[in-house]
Amino acid sequence: MIDRLKCNGKRVKNCKKQSSALCFGNYASLIYYIAFINRFMGFLPYKLESSKFMYSKLHSVFSTIIIIIYLFFAIFSLYEINFYAIMDDRIPDILHCNSIALFGSAIFICSYASNRSTLQAIQRVQYVSHALSAEIFNKLIKTLLIKDLLFFMPLGIFILYVIDNHDFKIFFFICWYSFFGLLVISTLYLNNIYILNACFKFINNSLIKIKEILINDEPHLLRREYHMKKNPILLMELRILKKQYMELIEAVHLLNHSYSLKNEMILLMLFFDITFNLYFYLVVYNTEVGKITKINSTLGFAIFYIVYIVISISMIEIIRVQMKKIGSNIHKILVHTFDDQIITELELFSLEVLQKDNRFIMFGLEMDLTLVTDVSKEKILSRKSINFFSPSILFYFIDDVQNYYLFINVDTIFVCSTLLKINFDQLR
């Protein structure tokens, strides 16, 4: 009797483990929380039907209402900023506030206009992710949740601080809502990128297993029985992997089509905000002009957005590395096989890899680490300009007396343990 109770207890524990493992065992459960936030903010009008993301007319009406309300308050904020001067009379303050309201409105309008194409891209990613097991999805959710919590935490603290200080003006709400919406849109994109990375990694692991099979069975390659039994299985696996690769590339193209303009405007908005925040911190708010004496919220958000840009582009760089490995793994298999059918199939697979465009682009500009690390020898030709070049990103601004340059080195992200190394040089 006691043994039976112990067995039943073990079964209950195993059932609990299986149910917890299946909690995030597919694409819909993994992406649901960020997709729900996108729908609540009016970016993604969808409904779930049998764990599939489908377009919803009812939620489309809700999205329209949300966007109209946001644009109304954004226009009202612009009117207050430019005519009632709710901010300080300094021109940089007015320009900063105008850039936030204008860029936020442009990003929201673009997201609303492209919600159908975004939904199609999500459907395609969901379809190609069926090859992944529940264990892989459970590993992905841990990384994604930690990343998303760290990204959303600063803005959550900011809105609580504004409410607690009873300084809740319309512009502050528009400012917070714009940056929060920006992160929500970008997070949905990056999470899909991370899932695609797992799919490409699955193809690479499968190709490595095929290579190991060929290496282990090398003494039997000339036997008739080997060709009768092994060849059809290997050929079938290669054809399945080639089909999965083509479907993944199609998903990449759909993501490029739906997110290219949004990504471009998001990067521009972040670069503008970083530049203004650094200007205010180093020139306006600091007691010792041009020197970093203490860290406040202005410098904190500038550093936060710099880290966010670097991490986002690094995630895209990681998936590009996985995509490049597929071609090299195919050629490694070619070295270890003598079968004509397998060689032909591998050559066709390699041809597809070479022909398909596997880049992440935004209106012709490729998104990778070269976006912020390509060496540029451009000179600063005029005052009051902003230039970005490397091996550092350069922020240039002036006050009435001196010129200031802030260099942020990003060329050693994967070499050094320090993520960002900041050097400030004061040039007279």
Looking at residue 66, its pLDDT comes to 94
For residue 308, give its domain range.
27-219+230-367
What one-character DSSP code corresponds to residue 131? G
**Same-domain status, 205 and 340:** yes
**Same-domain status, 341 and 423:** no
Asked, for residue 107, whether it belongs to a domain, the answer is yes
> What tokens does 152 get?
């959303």
Averaged pLDDT score across all residues of the chain: 76
pLDDT above 90 as % of the chain: 31
Looking at residue 128, its pLDDT comes to 92
Looking at residue 418, its pLDDT comes to 33
**Same-domain status, 377 and 297:** no
Judge whether residue 368 has pLDDT over 70.
no
Residue 71 — pLDDT band, cuts 50, 70, 90?
A: very high
Judge whether residue 58 has pLDDT over 70.
yes
**Dihedral over Cα of 287, 291, 296, 297: its sign:** positive
Which of 135, 129, 144, 143 is CA-nearest to residue 189? 144
**Same-domain status, 412 and 312:** no
Looking at residue 18, its pLDDT comes to 46
How many domains in the chain? 2
Residue 225 — pLDDT band, cuts 50, 70, 90?
A: low
Q: Are 426 and 404 in contact (CB under 8 A)?
A: yes
Which of 186, 12, 170 is CA-nearest to residue 111? 186
**What's CA 2's distance to the chain center, in Å?**
53
Residue pLDDT, tens place only, 183-211: 999 999 999 999 999 999 999 999 999 88
**Same-domain status, 363 and 399:** no
**Same-domain status, 271 and 295:** yes
Judge whether residue 339 has pLDDT over 60.
yes
Judge whether residue 65 has pLDDT over 60.
yes
Looking at residue 249, its pLDDT comes to 92
Angstrom distance (rounded) from CA 253 to CA 361: 9
**Dihedral over Cα of 223, 225, 228, 230: its sign:** negative
What one-character DSSP code corresponds to residue 290? T
**Same-domain status, 401 and 362:** no
Judge whether residue 217 has pLDDT over 80.
no
Asked, for residue 78, whether it belongs to a domain, the answer is yes
383 or 126, higher pLDDT: 126
**Dihedral over Cα of 86, 401, 288, 381: its sign:** positive
Asked, for residue 402, whether it belongs to a domain, the answer is yes
Asked, for residue 211, whether it belongs to a domain, the answer is yes
> What tokens does 178 get?
């714009």
Residue 362 — pLDDT band, cuts 50, 70, 90?
A: low
pTM equals 0.78
Residue pLDDT, tens place only, 387-411: 333 334 444 444 444 444 444 444 4
Residue 21 — pLDDT band, cuts 50, 70, 90?
A: very low
Helices 297-335 and 224-279 pack at an angle, to 10 degrees, of 160
Angstrom distance (rounded) from CA 221 to CA 332: 17
Residue pLDDT, tens place only, 135-192: 888 888 988 999 999 989 888 887 777 777 655 578 888 888 999 999 999 999 999 9
Judge whether residue 22 has pLDDT over 60.
no
Asked, for residue 349, whether it belongs to a domain, the answer is yes
The top-scoring range by mean pLDDT among 233-237, 280-284, 324-328 is 324-328
SS3 state of residue 409: strand
Looking at residue 88, its pLDDT comes to 55
**Same-domain status, 103 and 122:** yes
**Same-domain status, 351 and 398:** no
Asked, for residue 152, whether it belongs to a domain, the answer is yes
DSSP secondary structure of 306-365:
HHHHHHHHHHHHHHHHHHHHHHHHHHHHHHT---HHHHHHHHHHHHHHHHS----EETTE
Q: Are 65 and 222 in contact (CB under 8 A)?
A: no
Judge whether residue 17 has pLDDT over 60.
no
- Look-up of token digits 């990384």: 143
Angstrom distance (rounded) from CA 312 to CA 306: 10
Looking at residue 369, its pLDDT comes to 56
Asked, for residue 388, whether it belongs to a domain, the answer is no
**Same-domain status, 406 and 286:** no
**Same-domain status, 284 and 304:** yes
Q: Are 35 and 53 in contact (CB under 8 A)?
A: yes
How far apart, in Å, do the first and last CA atoms of the chain sit? 88
**Same-domain status, 256 and 297:** yes
Looking at residue 426, its pLDDT comes to 40
Asked, for residue 58, whether it belongs to a domain, the answer is yes
Residue 246 — pLDDT band, cuts 50, 70, 90?
A: very high
Looking at residue 185, its pLDDT comes to 94
